[in-house]
Amino acid sequence: MEKVHLKLGFSSKFTVDCHGDGRRRSGGLCLLWRSSVDIRISSFSLNHIDAVISEGLPHRNWRLTGVYGYPNDSDKHKTWQRLTTLFHSCSLPWMCLGDFNEILYNTENKGYPFTWSNGRCEEDNVQERLDRVFAIESWLLLFPYVAVEHLQCYTSDHCAISIYFDDICFPKPRGRKKIF
């Protein structure tokens, strides 16, 4: 990630490497940010990075949690238990994003917009919406014009998530935008 964060123009990073049981996963977790943003890491594990973002304005502190959901069916409940614990640990406006490794509705299996594919052909192909963004109402009130876009990625089996805030210029729309 050392080269990636510099190549993308980010001055700061926080990484969680895979170790122990997590070694079966590829990669790890990484949060990148520019020096103009004040970020304090609150907690982290093999499956999350929780941070408080301070924008330097009164009442503009908020919370960001990056998630990598447990991939095994027998452990998926642990992702939601962790998020419940994190939710109760802080009352700041909160946004969660990442690979939750779980579909919420049957329509998210072979349905648009899927964000992950196993890359196989025809009847062996599986497409699911695993990558998403959630926010609580207080966060949505802080950023009422936010848009989320899943970007096409040709080097990964997942789509990257791009979030456009109301205080920056929105790109020209390319198809339908989702506001959450």
The residue extents of the domains of the chain are 2-136
Which amino acid type is present at position 126? Answer: V
Q: Which of 38-47, 92-101, 109-118, 125-134 has the highest average model confidence (pLDDT)?
A: 38-47
Up-side HSE of residue 3: CA atoms within 13 Å toward CB? 0
The 62-68 sheet, strands edge to edge = 38-45, 48-54, 62-68, 94-99, 131-135
Is the pLDDT score of 66 beyond 80? yes
- Output the pTM of the full model: 0.75
- pLDDT bin (cut points 50, 70, 90) of residue 122 is low
Which amino acid type is present at position 53? Answer: I
Which CATH number is associated with domain 2-136? Answer: 3.60.10.10
For 81-119, the pLDDT digits (tens) are: 999 999 999 999 999 998 887 777 666 566 656 555 666
Return the DSSP state at 59. Answer: T
